[in-house]
Structure 1
Amino acid sequence: MKAIGFKQSLPINEEESFIAFETEIPKPEGRDLLIKVQANSVNPVDYKIRQNAVKDQVLDSPKIIGWDAVGIVEAVGEEVSLFNVGDAVFYAGDLTRSGSNAEYQLVDERIVGRKPRNLSIAEATAIPLTSLTAYETIFDRFKYNPATDKGRILLILAGAGGVGSIAIQLAKKLTDLTVIATASRKETVEWCKQMGADSVVNHYDLKDELAAKGIEQVDFIFDCVDLKSYWETAAELIKPQGHIVSITGSSDPLNLNLLKNKSVTFSWELMYTRSMYETADMQRQHNILNHLAELLEEGTIQSTLTTTFNGFTVANLKEAHKLQESGKSIGKNVILF
């Protein structure tokens, strides 16, 4: 099968930042599905791993990354019970395993969902990673409770990105939260409004813009952009007994003492935790993806696809990575095989 990978971490403009090669089609065992990949999408995690995974060596065999994907179940392991050969599926994969930048991929059935019937392959491919991240944040980290959280304010930092785009939709359609998103360019402001945000503020002047809307503090903050830069601001803006969730991490230790007097809860969200550690509730991701498929089929939420690259080639993969690295990507970018 054809695959695209890298032997060392190089700038994307370098000729061998990605290389195409041939390798064996893997065989499914246990609860694994063998998927014939039809499309995948590029997320910030892709370029971050490409930039950092192989800095001090050159691998003998290329590393295959890529996670979001749509495909057809080609074969199943002996313990599979959730899917059959021929099923159309979508998923976000597992950081610890070979990725979707290949014509075939093994994925545990517990983190796979059925492809939404009403979406094109490209539209469906834009969904899994960002939607799982947003869904887990709202319901597993914030633990949204309709009895107590109605009318509370959720601030999403970077509303026009892949995660922010779907988080706005899920929060507006599945909760009674007031949703405020941050954006700074005309096109990103309009995108956030299109996704359903109640209000959009410029992240370069966050406190003043919120104050101009009569908002001094918020109940929930979801950081999708740069926790280190926003940490002190977030600590000021969060209400007593509020909750901050971040997906971005920080290169420096965080001063959690800033949250102490307010008894604020802080949580990380990594949608790969369940698959990396094979947690007891790992199959929740299968259930979430199937719920998302229902929401998409009902028209409750929409795909966040904005850019499609036609053809599984090194050139297209490089262009998709360049777009993500530019910091100007809106919504999701998909490569059709």
Structure 2
Amino acid sequence: MKALTYEKAHPLDAFAIELTDVDEPRLCDGDLLVEVRAIGINPGEAAIRRTRSAEPGGRVILGWEFAGVVAAVGPAAVGFAVGDRVMGTGDITRDGGWAERVAIDHRVVAGIPDRLAFTDAASLPIGVLTAWESLFRDQDTLPPGVGRVLVLGGAGGVGSLATQLLKAATPAFVISTASRPESRKWAAEMGADLVIDHRGDLAGQLRAAGIDHVDLVFSTSGTRDHLGALVEVLRPFGHLAAIDLAGPFDPGALIGKSLSLHSETVFSRITTGGDVAEQGRILARVADDVTAGRLRPIVTTTLEGLTAETMKTAHTLAESGRTIGKTVIHVPSK
């Protein structure tokens, strides 16, 4: 089959991803083989491209957000049949979905309704799971006493879905940050009750709106850069959830207010042996919410074809730091 692959880690200006012939995926007993019809693009994959090289003689296949059609079912995979339309993430320790077909644990996959386009479905899994696990942990509710939530980076893929989940599933007052007119407009369309500028004085903007504190901050980017401001706006015994804490991080600033810190990466259940099936259950609920109109897909840019050129365009957008919603690549069926 064809897949987008590379050998050595590289920066964007030396883009070396190529469309190559690779072996068909090998299914484990609990796997599905999925014909990929759409691929969601994530900034984290661009970061991996810059830092991860293949083993000697091998090639890297990235891509852990996709939608497609089940082509084969492993003997221990239950709940799915050939021909089912599905969306899912994957396993960061295995080859990803930048390919014509991908092998995936059936527990991190959910069916999608016929009315949901593959491109729309591919815009959901990573953002939904990241936001859900950051905000709700292993429950369907926010921590006790949380009434006001600040989403730092409200126009990005994760922030867009976090805002929607909060408004659909909780009574929280949601404040999003966005700095440009188009991103502020998008954040409001996602359901934010108030939009403020993360380049300005967060506490001052909140006070101007009659808000003296928030109970929870969900930071999707720039946590270190804004840490002092985030601590300032949080109430004592409040909560900070962040998804960008890879590398050294000094939590000392949180101590004075006895703030709790929750870090998040969407692959933890897979890599640590946790309840992997919970991710499939979350995605199934999200598919129901989209069908019922409680959530909406977040595609803003659709690129056509599994080619090196479309992937380079996608990575250029991802690394610009100015994307709104989600970039998706449509993979035509053969």
Q: Normalization by structure 2: what TM-score?
A: 0.95
**Alpha-carbon distance change, 129 to 116 in structure 1, aligned in 2, over 3 angstroms:** farther
Query: SS of 2:129's equivalent?
Result: helix
Q: CA deviation at 1:262?
A: 2.1
Q: How far apart, CA to CA, are the structure 1 residues paired with 2:168 and 2:180?
A: 25
Q: How far apart, CA to CA, are the structure 1 residues paired with 2:224 and 2:178?
A: 18
Query: SS of 2:199's equivalent?
Result: helix
Q: CA deviation at 1:184?
A: 0.5
Q: Residue in 2 aligned with 1:243?
A: 239
Q: CA deviation at 1:118?
A: 2.2
Query: SS of 1:9's equivalent?
Result: coil
Q: Residue in 2 aligned with 1:7?
A: 7
Q: Residue in 1 aligned with 2:39?
A: 40
Structure 1: runs of 5+ lacking an equivalent:
none
**Alpha-carbon distance change, 167 to 116 in structure 1, aligned in 2, over 3 angstroms:** farther
Larger displacement relative to structure 2 (207-216 or 296-305): 207-216
Q: Residue in 2 aligned with 1:21?
A: 20
Q: Is the CA contact (8 Å cut-off) linking 1:116 and 1:124 kept in structure 2?
A: no
Q: Residue in 1 aligned with 2:286?
A: 292
Letter in 1 for 2:2: K
Q: Residue in 2 aligned with 1:127?
A: 124
What is the root-mean-square deviation of aligned Cα atoms in Å? 1.7
* Post-superposition CA distance 1:58-116 (Å, at most 9, x none): 84222000111011111121111121111111001111110011111111011111123
Q: CA deviation at 1:32?
A: 0.8
**Among 308, 316, 327, which residue is 1:322 paired with?**
316
Letter in 1 for 2:277: Q
Query: SS of 2:91's equivalent?
Result: coil
Larger displacement relative to structure 2 (187-196 or 210-219): 210-219
Query: SS of 1:166's equivalent?
Result: helix
Matches within 5 A, 1:26-175: 26-54=25-53, 59-140=56-137, 144-145=141-142, 148-149=144-145, 152-175=147-170
Q: Is the CA contact (8 Å cut-off) linking 1:34 and 1:75 kept in structure 2?
A: yes
Query: SS of 1:204's equivalent?
Result: coil
Q: CA deviation at 1:12?
A: 2.0
* Post-superposition CA distance 1:252-308 (Å, at most 9, x none): 322x232223221101011111112231x2100110000000000001110001000
Q: Normalization by structure 1: what TM-score?
A: 0.94
Query: SS of 1:17's equivalent?
Result: coil
User: Percent of aligned positions with the same letter in both sequences?
Assistant: 35
Q: How far apart, CA to CA, are the structure 1 residues paired with 2:240 and 2:289?
A: 26
Q: Residue in 2 aligned with 1:313?
A: 307
Query: SS of 1:107's equivalent?
Result: strand
Letter in 2 for 1:291: R
Structure 2: runs of 5+ lacking an equivalent:
none
Count of residue pairs the alignment pairs up? 330
Matches within 5 A, 1:171-250: 171-205=166-200, 206-250=202-246
Q: How far apart, CA to CA, are the structure 2 residues paired with 1:20 and 1:250?
A: 30
Letter in 1 for 2:20: F
Q: How far apart, CA to CA, are the structure 2 residues paired with 1:145 and 1:123?
A: 27
Q: Is the CA contact (8 Å cut-off) linking 2:34 and 2:104 kept in structure 1?
A: yes
Letter in 1 for 2:257: K
**Alpha-carbon distance change, 257 to 13 in structure 1, aligned in 2, over 3 angstroms:** closer
Query: SS of 2:70's equivalent?
Result: strand
**Alpha-carbon distance change, 12 to 119 in structure 1, aligned in 2, over 3 angstroms:** same
Q: CA deviation at 1:197?
A: 0.2
